Amino acid sequence: MLPRFASLSTMSRRALPNHWDLIAMAIIFSIIIAITKGAHGINAPLPKLEEAPTIDLSYWNLPYYAIRSVIRMAIAMAASFVFTFTYATWAAKSRRAEMVLIPMLDVLQSVPVLSFLTITVTFFTDTLFPGSTLGVECAAIFAIFTAQAWNMAFSFYQSLRTVPHDLSEVADGFHLTGWQKFWNLETPFAVPGLLWNTMMSMSGSWFFLVASEAITVHGTTVKLPGIGSYLATAIDAKDWGAVIATVITMFVVILIYDQLLFRPVVAWADKFRVELSAAQTTDKSWLLDLLNRTRWVRHASRPVQDLFRRFTLLRIDRASIVPKVLLALLVVFWLYLARHVFDTQVYNDGTFLLALLLIVPMFVLAKWIWAPSSVADASPATSRLIDIAWFAIIVLGFLYAAWEIASYVSQSLSMSDVWETFWLTCYTLARVAVLMLLATIFWVPVSVWIGLRPRLASFIQPAAQFLAAYPVNLLFPIAVPLMAMFNLNPDIWLSPLIVFGTQWYIVFNVVAGASAFPNDLREVSANFHIKGWQWWKNVILPGIMPYYFTGAITASGGSWNAAIVAETVKWGDQTYSAHGIGAYIADASASTDDNAFQKVVLGTVMMSIFVILFNRLFWRRLYAYAERKLRVA
């Protein structure tokens, strides 16, 4: 009888929460309360745009503003993950889709935040959520999304393209479907690099927070409660105390989400490293250890884990399911387009006829694009015919877009404006190329040194996130007085501001590559006494090059975007501008002239053309070489 009583007593104690559960639930409830408080007023009626809401520079408002900004960044991050897992996967799995998606990603990465907001503010506030603050919130979230998604998509695409062949052969040997292989091999392999790029994207969204929360488009200023709008107001008021308080608040917020989010996830993802021998040191997280010691929290999360495991093991055949999904999406798009035409009675623009004529061939082509197995079974002649048809559609779409843009811009601008933007873009190109070279020479060795030391990386990680998140606007109070005092040339001394925030793309990617470098290869090189330049040339550089090129491509594109902020600096009523396409677009966005929007379009298109050519002729060739020759296989 006594042993049974002892057994029941033990079971009852195990059913109760332990003190680790209480700590974990206190953290969870604190986060829920903070989100609830931050979401207050998000759907309030929108005041007149001419009457911009005032931002109170009182220090007591900073916690609330910080919560509002973090909520926007978290929502944008969730959308970025959805975009990454769909867009990057499509580009990596389909050669024909890659012909369109990767150049389009180059364009999207180079399009400035100001250009996105010039279009999306009106769309969200007038079309989707008229008369509500939710429209402006969505516009701000979309702008933050554009600062996060492209980098994550490039990283995931690079990882999917460099999965070791032997692991793919093992997955094929177990007869895994494409769905099972994606979730159980390719995604775990991509997780380490994706996490480091997610941290960089989160930090990069701080960099453009001022542009997304406080922006002037066509003379209309819209400000939302947040760190970005608080900082913009402090800069306009020349309030040094508010600027310093903003920096301190940013550091505290970055430290909090590093400890509560990124550090646990990085420690958890350490098990996905590809190596044959165990690493001597691993990442640690006090929060992950705390959650592993809980009872109730672990039991509550177990059904979710089981459901996700079943989800990843579903035997879904991509060749049969994807064309059906594409057909449904095409039908929905066609119905929306038809409804728009019928409602507005616009028949003369050819949109309805074009949609009607293209829906069937587009579905057929989509099936061939998404189903590589079908292409493999097809004859070479049929496959070549599909390639020709697909390439023709790409060319026709490009020519149509070029014609529409040229027709719109030519309404108020001339060839002299085109040549002006061309030369201004050349100035910015020279700055970006020189700064990227200097950043590479300095940061690649430093990042390798950090990445090969996990304990050191865990300490440097929050500091690197803070420096990556440090908005370049906070340097304006230093840059403007120095330029005025020493009569410095803006074309030279404003250039470092371009790479100030984007150099960290290289740092985070190279650190991720060095951290993921197999420990067994390091041991082999040590046993053979490979040191010095030979070690760099034959061991570590080939291992990190795919990661470096991913970081360099995103840093290059981000530098073009950062030029919008860095080529024009303002502190109070003092303004300095450098010659470049960034200053041109920034001035056009803030202008109230009738042709201001045409100038924004012209500058954005010229910048996109340069970025595509630079990436296609330089970065992509190096990336393809690294993909073929420099991979762990």
Q: Answer for the pair 490, 578: CB distance below 8 angstroms, yes or no.
A: yes
Residue 570, Cβ density class (10 Å: 0-12 exposed, 13-18 middle, ≥19 buried): middle
pLDDT at 621: 81
Q: Please spell the DSSP secondary structure of 73-120, one letter per residue.
A: HHHHHHHHHHHIIIIIHHHHH-HHHHHHHHHHHHHHHHS-HHHHHHHH
Neighbours of 107 (CB within 10 A): 18
Range scoring the smallest mean pLDDT among 50-54, 421-425, 564-568: 50-54
Q: What is the pLDDT of residues 216-274, one digit of tens each?
A: 544 556 678 888 888 878 877 878 888 888 888 888 888 888 888 888 888 888 777 76
Q: Is residue 341 part of a domain?
A: yes
The identity of residue 121, as a single letter, is: V
For residue 333, is it within any domain?
Answer: yes
Which pLDDT does position 422 carry in this prediction?
92
Per-residue model confidence as pLDDT tens digits over 440-483:
999 999 989 888 887 777 777 777 767 776 766 667 667 777 77
> CA-CA distance, 231 to 221, in Å (whole number)?
15
* Structure-model confidence comparison of residues 188 and 212, the more confident one: 188
216 bridge partner residues: 221
- The residue among 342 and 156 whose pLDDT is bigger is 156
Q: Quote the CA–CA distance of 586 and 563 in Å, as a whole number.
A: 9
Per-residue pLDDT at 338:
57
Q: Which two tokens stand for residue 205?
A: 């969204």
Q: How confident is the model at residue 80 (pLDDT cuts 50, 70, 90)?
A: very high
Instruction: Give the pLDDT confidence score for residue 378 in this predicted structure.
Output: 54
pLDDT exceeding 90 applies to what percent of the chain? 3
Q: Within 10 Å of residue 88's Cβ, how many Cβ atoms?
A: 26
Does residue 423 have a pLDDT over 90? Answer: yes
**What's the whole-number mean pLDDT along residues 572-579?**
76
- Kindly write down the DSSP assignment for every residue of 232-249, as one continuous string: HHHHHTT-HHHHHHHHHH
Residues spanned by the domain of 352:
315-377
User: Among 172-176, 309-313, 482-486, where is mean pLDDT lowest?
Assistant: 482-486
**Is 122 domain-assigned?**
no
Residue 542 has pLDDT above 80, yes or no: yes
Task: Quickly state the pLDDT bin for 81 (edges 50, 70, 90).
Answer: very high
287-343 pLDDT tens trace: 888 888 888 888 888 888 888 888 888 877 655 565 566 566 666 666 655 555 445
The answer as to whether 355 is a domain residue is yes
Whole-number pLDDT of residue 323:
57
CB 159 within 8 A of CB 182: no
Residue-wise pLDDT tens digits, 193-216: 888 788 878 877 776 777 677 655
- Lowest-pLDDT choice from 40-49, 82-91, 112-121, 501-510: 40-49
CA distances from 618 to 434, 487, 522, 608, 621 (A): 14, 37, 30, 15, 6
Q: Does 363 map to a domain? A: yes
Helices (H), 475-595: 476-486, 490-493, 496-500, 503-515, 519-527, 532-535, 541-566, 581-590
The three-state (H, E, C) secondary structure of 9-33, written as one string: HHHHHHHCCCHHHHHHHHHHHHHHH
Is residue 450 a part of any domain in this protein? no
pLDDT band at 86 (very low <50, low <70, confident <90, very high): confident
Q: Tell me the per-residue pLDDT of 359-378, one tens digit each, with 9 for 90 and over.
A: 555 555 455 444 444 444 45
- Average confidence (pLDDT) over 39-67: 71
CA atoms within 13 A on the CB side of 46: 20
The Cα–Cα gap between 380 and 463 comes to: 54
Q: Is residue 364 part of a domain?
A: yes
How many Å apart are CA 153 and CA 326, to the nearest integer?
21
Alpha-carbon distance of 599 to 365, in angstroms, equals: 36
Helix 113-122 with 133-161: angle, nearest 10 deg: 130
Check residue 226 and give its pLDDT. Answer: 86
Arithmetic mean of pLDDT over the chain:
77
pLDDT at residue 630 in the model: 66
pLDDT in tens, 383-399: 777 777 777 877 887 78
SS3 214: strand
Q: Read off the pLDDT band of 84 (50, 70, 90).
A: very high
Count of domains observed in the chain? 1
As a whole number, mean pLDDT of residues 607-626 equals 81
> Is residue 357 one of the residues assigned to a domain?
yes
CB atoms within 10 A of CB 441: 9
| Burial profile 19-42: b = 16 or more Cβ within 10 angstroms, e = fewer | ebbebbeeeeeeeeebeeebeeeb
The reported pLDDT for the residue numbered 374 is 45
47 versus 412: the higher-pLDDT residue is: 412
